[in-house]
Each structure stands twice: as structure tokens, then as C-alpha cells.
Amino acid sequence: MRLSFIAKAIGIEFSGEDVEILGIHTLDEASSSQMSFLDNAKYMTSLENTKAIAVLCNAEAALNVPSGCIALVDEEPYLKLALASKLFAPNVIETEGEDAIIGEACFIAATAYVGKGCVIGNNVKLLPGVFVGDKAKIGDNSILHANVSVYRDCEVGQDCIIHSGTTVGSDGFGFAHTKLGEHVKIYQNGNVLIEDDVEIGANCAIDRAVFGTTLIRKGCKIDNLIQLGHNVDIGEYSILVAQCGVAGSTTLGRNVVMGGQSAAAGHITIAPFSQFAARSGITNDVKDGSKVYGGFPLMEQRSWLKLQAKLARLLKPKK
Amino acid sequence: MRLSFIAKAIGIEFSGEDVEILGIHTLDEASSSQMSFLDNAKYMTSLENTKAIAVLCNAEAALNVPSGCIALVDEEPYLKLALASKLFAPNVIETEGEDAIIGEACFIAATAYVGKGCVIGNNVKLLPGVFVGDKAKIGDNSILHANVSVYRDCEVGQDCIIHSGTTVGSDGFGFAHTKLGEHVKIYQNGNVLIEDDVEIGANCAIDRAVFGTTLIRKGCKIDNLIQLGHNVDIGEYSILVAQCGVAGSTTLGRNVVMGGQSAAAGHITIAPFSQFAARSGITNDVKDGSKVYGGFPLMEQRSWLKLQAKLARLLKPKK
Amino acid sequence: MRLSFIAKAIGIEFSGEDVEILGIHTLDEASSSQMSFLDNAKYMTSLENTKAIAVLCNAEAALNVPSGCIALVDEEPYLKLALASKLFAPNVIETEGEDAIIGEACFIAATAYVGKGCVIGNNVKLLPGVFVGDKAKIGDNSILHANVSVYRDCEVGQDCIIHSGTTVGSDGFGFAHTKLGEHVKIYQNGNVLIEDDVEIGANCAIDRAVFGTTLIRKGCKIDNLIQLGHNVDIGEYSILVAQCGVAGSTTLGRNVVMGGQSAAAGHITIAPFSQFAARSGITNDVKDGSKVYGGFPLMEQRSWLKLQAKLARLLKPKK
């Protein structure tokens, strides 16, 4: 898509050399054929080092755009990003295109749907009501139970099991906001990648990335009714117990254990092997993975137990 | 339905003028062609001012029924309401009736179901496995992702997006209880109305009203795995983050923000622009919408943070 | 299946009399045609009294295996159990077998799926997208709303209502762990039994038992987005409010009430008629069913309210 076309579509004046834009990504991750954006001055260093060919930013930040990068200047760059993201959104569902490639010895129910351009491995089972969107891939031996939905462009590895009602690849929760308090959708043009030997329980919701990939690494075991926000990275062999949630862009190291109804805030990093008791609320980076944590705010679980015992004593009449 | 028929069906003696009853509603909302009920003496003023043509109530309350309103007297009026509600329940699914009206340029998957008497706007996309119950309406340009279920009589506005696995219009959680501890279903004969430009994430549950309408106003953005009880009214442009819940009959003003895993109790009113941190537990009306709240019980978020810091200090050894 | 075959398949040396093994169960519940396992020395008494024909255990425990019971000795008996459980797992979906028996006056949607060997009662309604796995049973007058999934071998009683998106019979969350931190699936070969007159809301997840049965007793009313782990036993007429969870092997007595977003830990017993406020966290047995509990850790709800009031006073400046 030509940059001139994008600029016109989102209402930014643009003069200078026109270039082809293949997509949008963050300042750090954008390639030289992608555009990016700066919404928060704390990422100024990322701006100065971006490889993006063009950047949405305000007038002040435009001064720091590296040479060879085109500044698209607007006082509401995040709002313009939202408008631009829509231009790159693929069709919700394709009605034309190449038929899926289906491996050997598969069971594909009559009411299962396999989209255009999908690649389904050998010995895959797609039970009734399963939806596999366009260009999605399902690895050998994987089982998708009844009424699982895998959105377009997502990938499921080999030897995976996904239980009924789970959604893989729904849109991440991202919006820009107008001064009037309206919300403008940032189209979530990334995907979800589930590696090999992952099991996911019933009625989970795993959002696709806004840019790039939401990643569930190999051997993870994920229980029921769990929320994984866009762009999370769940380390290999991690265990997530029922009704827990991980907000967007948070990274878990390998073999992390999150108890039932626990939650991690967005944009944090959790050390490998960290363990979290049920109901833990994790709001900051966890750097020491050798401990068991609990409570909200988070502390060591044994401290939380001690604190709760102390508090309960407040109820006893004073002598 | 004749009142004499209803009375007989639910086991209440009835003599006097017979009238036609078109439905059941609350004392405040009932029209002169509907019946109502009084279960709790605190609504006595509502009883005295009701327009309902008939009211289920106990003998004491019957003295306050306004003239022209017929008292149906029973010592367990709520139990009788449950029995009466069943009489007004429509068929779960219609096998006869007028075909749906489908707009132009729609995509309706082969395995999507559109009930009798539905009205589907232009450019609507119903992906595989979508269920749209009888007489439901879906507005122009709306997208229902795979395996979304919209129950009968519910309405979705224009430019809406509903993600996979979400249920719109399931029965609200309402039961009368017998002296033996059994629960008798109060049929939920209301509906859900979702206004324009609403996005709802994956695997949410939005209950239909017991009477009247569960209302999601325009521009709301609702994340994944969220519970909205019957008869809630979610103000326009409100943002509900993943795994939060709003119990029945609670009203949110416009642009309310509820953080992840937060919850609001039933029958409360929350001021416009109120913001709630993750895990907030809202149990009373919130009248000042200019603040950020948190904690359970609820307080200002900055107070909650201060309190938690104080409590953590209890763990330090005293000098 | 011959014990010699099992031993070879899971890599345990076996010599002695070969026997036929029909399944796996706990030490307490195993019949004389089933094998069992001991993973934790605290169940040694159960080992000494088991009726199982064979037991996976370590060398030390093998000394206590009752006469007539064959010890299969391994230093990682739980890991071997996981391997053995796979041998007994039935097919995910049958493509051959007897057609289902369908009662009279049923509505079965064109896109509903009824597996081999199912028994569907009279006047049952299976709405579009419903999945009923092989050999499952659905009792008279029950309604399964759109996109409900009932896994194979599960049973739903008479006069039940299950709302859209709910999953009944997904695999319980059970894994053995290798020394390298990998997780090996314990196949969940039990089922779910839902008794008569149960209503289950939208998008719940009810796991099948690892051995035996996950039990929802008659007259229970279960709201939306609720997690019930494997082998729970929910007492009759219990009420579970939205977004609550009950972890595996926990037993609720009759008429227990669990508030919204509350949770019970696994392997505990809760007395009949106990009531739990919203957000309660139940981590131990509850023996007195006459009270209302709340908080996390759990206490009487009135104590929790008093404690929270005391804590809030810590924020007031000292005089």
C-alpha cells in the first residue's frame, strides 16, 4: 500500500517521496517496509533507533525521527494509528482462494469449517462445529474438540488438544480514544501461534496480536476459562489454572505456574519457574523465579499467609 | 391470556372481572395490560402507584393495591410469579413462521442458523456456527464470529463485532425458592438490546432481561469472558476489561471503565466516567464519577494502595 | 487389557500371574478388576486396604501391597499412571457403531450432532450447533441451547436446561511431571453426570472425572462462566453464582450457595446449607453449614466486614 494512500485515508498531509508500506509494527520491531507510531514520549529512544520507513508522531517527536524515516505528523498519532490499522485488516472470511491442504487420516466433521488456504496436518481431528479460519495451520495429531474457533492466520502445533468452546485468535482489546470519549478500534492484524504439545481447556479466550504474534510455547498446559491478552508470550511448560488471566504483552518464562483466578497485569515480565498461588495479582515484573508468590498486591505466599493471620487477630478483643 | 386462566394455572383463587393479560413486569414498569407482583414490603410505594391490571401479593399488601388493580393473594407471591412466568415463555425455537429477511451483500455461512422472523441488515457477516434465534435483529455491517449464539428476540445494532463463543440472551439467573429448598425458574421473557458500534470479545455471557431489556449502549467495548447479568444497563462508551462481571439490574453511566476481574454487585448505579482498577469489587452506588476506585471493599484506588503499603509494613519486625 | 501388555507399554518389568485389567481407579474405589496407584505415602492405609488387582507404587510402598494385589514397582509411579491412563482412553469420536436412540417429539437441529450409541429422551431440544458425544445420554424434556458441547459418555438428566457455549465433559486438568519439567497427560477416562432439574448458564466448563464421575446433583442452579473441576460433587439444590469456580474433587453438600467470583480449593468438603458471599475463597473444609462466610482467607462474612472496616480506619490520620 502506498504511503500517500495511507496518509490521505487517515487525514494527514504528506509530501515527499512515496514508498510502499507492507504493514504496521512497533518502533522496535518494525522492518524497513513497515510503518510505526510514537504515542508516548518514554519510547523516544525506540523512535531514534527505529528501522520503520515511516512513523506517526506529534510535531515534537518528529524532530527525532531518524534520517530516511518519514514523519507523519499529527497531534493524535494513536488515533491515526487506529485509522491506519483498518487499512491493513484482511477480510474477515475469504470466499475465494485456494482450497485447504488436508493431511492423511484426518477426521473432519461435516459441520466443521476449514477456510481457504489452510494447512491441516496428518491425523488431525476437527470435531463438529469447529471453525478453522483462512490460512490457519493445524499440526499433526492435534485434536480440536467441538465448537472450538481458530481465527484466520493462526497456527496450532503438533500433538495439541483444544477443548470445546475455546477461541483462539479473537481480536485483542485495543482502542484509541477520541476527545469525545469514543473508542476507535485498532485492528488486530497479528496472529496466535501455539507450539507443539500444548493442551488448552474449555471456553478459554486467546487473543491475536495487534502486531506480530501471541505466543503459547511448547508443552504449556492451560486450564478452563482463561484469558490471554494480545501479544502475551507464555513460556514453555507453563501451567495456567482455571479462570486466571494474563493481560496484553506480558511475558512468562518457562515453567511458570499460575493458580486459579490469578492474574498478571499487562507489559510485565515474569521469571522462569515462578509460582503463583490462587488469586495472586501480579502487577510488576517478577525477577526471582525461585519463590512462591501470592496475594494482591503480590508478595511471597508465606508472607501473605502471615499477614492474613496478623490481620485476623485484629478481630480478637484486646485484653 | 385471560387472568382467570393464569390464576387457575398457578393455584390462586380468583373471582371478579376477568381481564386479558399481555405480560408481566415490575410494579414500576408494568403497563395497564400487564400483571405484576410484590415480594418485598419495601416496594409498597411502587405497589400503590402501579399501573398493572393485576398484582400477585400477600394478604397484607393486598390492602394497598390501587383501585382498578386486581390483587391475586398468596402467601408466596414470588413463587407464584415463577409459575406465572412460565405461561408467558415463548417457544425455545420456532419450527414454523415467516422466513427471515436478509439484507444485501451479506455473508451467511452454510452452518450459520437464522431463525424465523429475523431481520438481518445489509453487509452482515454470520460466520460458521453462528446461531441467531427467532425474531432477532442484526444491524448493518455487523460481524458475528464463529459459534456466537444470539438468542431469540434479541437485537444487535449496526457496526457491531461479536467474537467467537459469546452468548447473547441466555436466561438471567432468577429463581423462586420453595420451603423445601427447591428452586423454581422465573422464566426470563425479556431480551437483550445491543446498540450500534459495540464490540464484544470472546466467550462472554450476556443474559436476557427477566422483564424488559438488558441494554448495552452504543460504543461500548467489552473484552473477553465477561458476565453481564439480566437487566443491566451499560452506559455508552463504557469499557469493560476481561473477566469482569456486572450483576443483575445494575446501571453504569457513560464512559465507565471497569478493570480486569472487577465486579459490580446487583441493583446499584454507577456514575458516568467512574473508573475501577483491576479486581475492584463494587457493592454500593458510586455517585462521584470523577475518581479512580479500587479494592474490595471499594475505596479510592490511591487509598487502597496506601492501605496495602501500610499493611505490608505490619510484616516488618518492630524495632 | 492384559496386565503384561500394560506393564510393557509403560516400561515396568512384570513377572508373575497375568490378569485382565478393565480400568484404573483410586485405591479406595478400585474394584478387583481395576488397577490403581500410590503416589503419596499419606494414602498408605488406602493401599493396605485396596481391592485393586494391581498397584503402581515405589519399592517401599510395594511392601504394603495387600496379598493378591500385584505391585508394579517404579520410582515415578504417577508418571507411569499417566502413561497407563492413555491405554484406556476411548476414541475421541467414533465413526462406527450403533445409531443413537432418539425419543419422541424431539427437536434436533440440522447442525446438531448426536454421536454413536447416544440415548436421547422424549421431547428433548438440541439447538443448532449442539454436540452430543458418543454414548452420551440426555433425559426427557431437556433443552441444550445453541453450541453446547457434551462430551462422550456424559449424562444429562430430565428437565435440564443448558445454555449456549457451555462445555460438559472436557478433560479434567491432570498431569504428571517429568524431572525435566514436562507435563504428561493423565487421560481423563471418567464422565460427568448431571441429575434432573439442573439449569446451567452460558459458557461454563464442567470437567469430566479422571476416574469415576463428576456429579451435579438434582435441582442445582449454575450461573454463567463457572468452572467445575474434575470429580467435584455438587450437592442437590446448590446455587453457584456467575464466574465462581470449584476445584477438583471438592464436595458441596446440599443447598450450598456460592456467590459471584467465589472459589473453592480442591479436595475439600463443604457442609450442606453453607453460604458464601461474592469473592469468597474457600481453602479448607467447612463444617458448620449454618453460617454465611466471606473473604479470602475465609471467615464469617460479618467478621470480614468488621475487619475491613477496622482496616479502613488505618487510613485515618491519628489524633
**pLDDT 10s digits, C273-286:** 999 999 999 999 99
Average pLDDT, chain B: 97
Contact criterion met (CB < 8 Å) for A201 and C170:
yes
From chain B, the residues in CB contact with A247 under 8 A are 242, 260
In the predicted structure, residue B318 carries a pLDDT above the cut 80: no
Tens of pLDDT along C50-87?
999 999 999 999 999 999 999 999 999 999 999 999 99
Residue of B nearest to C164 (CA): B167
Q: Best interface-test mutation with A: which of B126, B167, B222, B223 has the largest number of A CBs within 10 A?
A: B223
Specify the pLDDT at position C319: 59
Q: Where are the alpha helices (DSSP H) in B41-114?
A: 44-49, 59-62, 77-87
Residue of C nearest to A144 (CA): C92
Quote the CA–CA distance of B156 and A138 in Å, as a whole number: 33
Q: Best interface-test mutation with C: which of B86, B91, B93 has the largest number of C CBs within 10 A?
A: B93
Specify the pLDDT at position B319: 59
CA distances from B161 to A153, B70, B125, B156 (A): 19, 46, 10, 9
Quote the CA–CA distance of A176 and B237 in Å, as a whole number: 12
Shortest Cα distance from B141 to chain A (angstroms)? 12
What are C's interface residues with B at a Cβ cutoff of 8 A? 107, 109, 111, 125, 127-129, 143, 145-147, 161, 163-165, 199, 201-203, 219, 221, 223-225, 237, 239, 241-243, 254-255, 260-261, 278-279, 308, 311-312, 314-315
Q: Are C251 and C228 in contact (CB under 8 A)?
A: no
What are A's interface residues with B at a Cβ cutoff of 8 A? 92-93, 95, 111, 113, 129, 131, 133, 147, 149, 151, 165-167, 170-171, 173, 175, 181-183, 185, 203-205, 207, 225, 227, 229, 243, 245, 247, 261, 263, 265, 281, 296-297, 299, 303, 306-307, 310-311
Q: Using the CB atoms, write b or e for A16-51: b if 16+ within 10 Å.
A: eeeeebebbbbbeebeeebbbbbbeeebeebbeebb
Contact criterion met (CB < 8 Å) for C113 and A146:
yes
Q: Which of B149, B182, B207 sits opposite C146 (nearest CB)?
A: B149
- For cell 415463577, name the residue: B82
Closest CA to B203 of C143, C131, A173, C224: C224
Tens of pLDDT along C171-218?
999 999 999 999 999 999 999 999 999 999 999 999 999 999 999 999
In the predicted structure, residue C318 carries a pLDDT above the cut 70: no
- For cell 423454581, name the residue: B184
Q: Which of A111, A167, A303 sits opposite B163 (nearest CB)?
A: A167
Q: Best interface-test mutation with C: which of A243, A279, A290 has the largest number of C CBs within 10 A?
A: A243
From chain A, the residues in CB contact with B260 under 8 A are 227, 245, 247, 263
In the predicted structure, residue B61 carries a pLDDT above the cut 70: yes
Give percent of chain B above pLDDT 90.
Answer: 97
Specify the pLDDT at position A21: 97
In the predicted structure, residue C7 carries a pLDDT above the cut 80: yes
Amino acid at C287: K
Quote the CA–CA distance of A104 and C315 in Å, as a whole number: 67
Q: Are A65 and A51 in contact (CB under 8 A)?
A: no
Specify the pLDDT at position C295: 98
Contact criterion met (CB < 8 Å) for A260 and C227:
yes
Q: Best interface-test mutation with C: which of A141, A145, A220, A296 has the largest number of C CBs within 10 A?
A: A145
In the predicted structure, residue B16 carries a pLDDT above the cut 90: no
Q: Which of A227, A263, A296 sits opposite B224 (nearest CB)?
A: A227
Specify the pLDDT at position C184: 98
Specify the pLDDT at position B135: 98
Q: Are B202 and A205 in contact (CB under 8 A)?
A: yes
From chain B, the residues in CB contact with C304 under 8 A are none
How many Cβ atoms from other residues are within 10 Å of residue B164's Cβ? 33
How many Cβ atoms from other residues are within 10 Å of residue B288's Cβ? 10
Amino acid at B118: C
Tens of pLDDT along B255-272?
999 999 999 999 999 999
Mean pLDDT of B67-95: 97
Q: Active site includes A230?
A: yes
CB contacts < 8 Å between A and B, how many?
Answer: 136
Give percent of chain A above pLDDT 90.
Answer: 97
Q: Which of A131, A170, A207 sits opposite B129 (nearest CB)?
A: A131
Give percent of chain C above pLDDT 90.
Answer: 97
From chain A, the residues in CB contact with B301 under 8 A are none
Contact criterion met (CB < 8 Å) for A221 and C183:
yes
The four Cα atoms A29, A30, A35, A38 give a dihedral, to 10 degrees, of 30
Shortest Cα distance from A183 to chain B (angstroms)? 7
From chain C, the residues in CB contact with A315 under 8 A are 299, 303, 306-307, 310
Quote the CA–CA distance of A285 and A266 in Å, as a whole number: 10
Specify the pLDDT at position C264: 98
From chain A, the residues in CB contact with C133 under 8 A are 146
Tens of pLDDT along C290-311?
999 999 999 999 999 999 999 9
From chain C, the residues in CB contact with B258 under 8 A are none
In the predicted structure, residue B187 carries a pLDDT above the cut 80: yes
In the predicted structure, residue C317 carries a pLDDT above the cut 80: no
What interface predicted TM-score (ipTM) does this complex get? 0.97
What are B's interface residues with C at a Cβ cutoff of 8 A? 92-93, 95, 111, 113, 129, 131, 133, 147, 149, 151, 165-167, 170-171, 173, 175, 181-183, 185, 203-205, 207, 225, 227, 229, 243, 245, 247, 261, 263, 265, 281, 296-297, 299, 303, 306-307, 310-311
Catalytic machinery residues of B? 230
Contact criterion met (CB < 8 Å) for A225 and B239:
no
Specify the pLDDT at position C14: 84
Q: What is the DSSP letter of B101?
A: E
Catalytic machinery residues of C? 230
Specify the pLDDT at position C17: 87
From chain C, the residues in CB contact with A226 under 8 A are none
Q: Which of A133, A181, A297 sits opposite B255 (nearest CB)?
A: A181
Helix (H) or strand (E) holding B183: strand B183-185
Contact criterion met (CB < 8 Å) for B203 and A175:
no
Residue C316, burial from CB neighbour count under 10 angstroms (0-12, 13-18, 19+):
exposed
Quote the CA–CA distance of C111 and C238 in Å, as a whole number: 33
In the predicted structure, residue B83 carries a pLDDT above the cut 90: yes
Tens of pLDDT along B151-169?
999 999 999 999 999 999 9
Q: Are B156 and B162 in contact (CB under 8 A)?
A: yes
Tens of pLDDT along B84-131?
999 999 999 999 999 999 999 999 999 999 999 999 999 999 999 999
Per-residue pLDDT of chain A (319 residues; tens, 9 = 90+): 999 999 999 999 987 789 999 999 999 999 999 999 999 999 999 999 999 999 999 999 999 999 999 999 999 999 999 999 999 999 999 999 999 999 999 999 999 999 999 999 999 999 999 999 999 999 999 999 999 999 999 999 999 999 999 999 999 999 999 999 999 999 999 999 999 999 999 999 999 999 999 999 999 999 999 999 999 999 999 999 999 999 999 999 999 999 999 999 999 999 999 999 999 999 999 999 999 999 999 999 999 999 999 999 998 876 5
**Hey, which bits of C64-160 come out as E strands?**
70-73, 101-102, 107-108, 113-114, 119-120, 125-126, 131-132, 137-138, 143-144, 149-150, 155-156
Helix (H) or strand (E) holding A149: strand A149-150
Specify the pLDDT at position C316: 84
Specify the pLDDT at position A16: 78
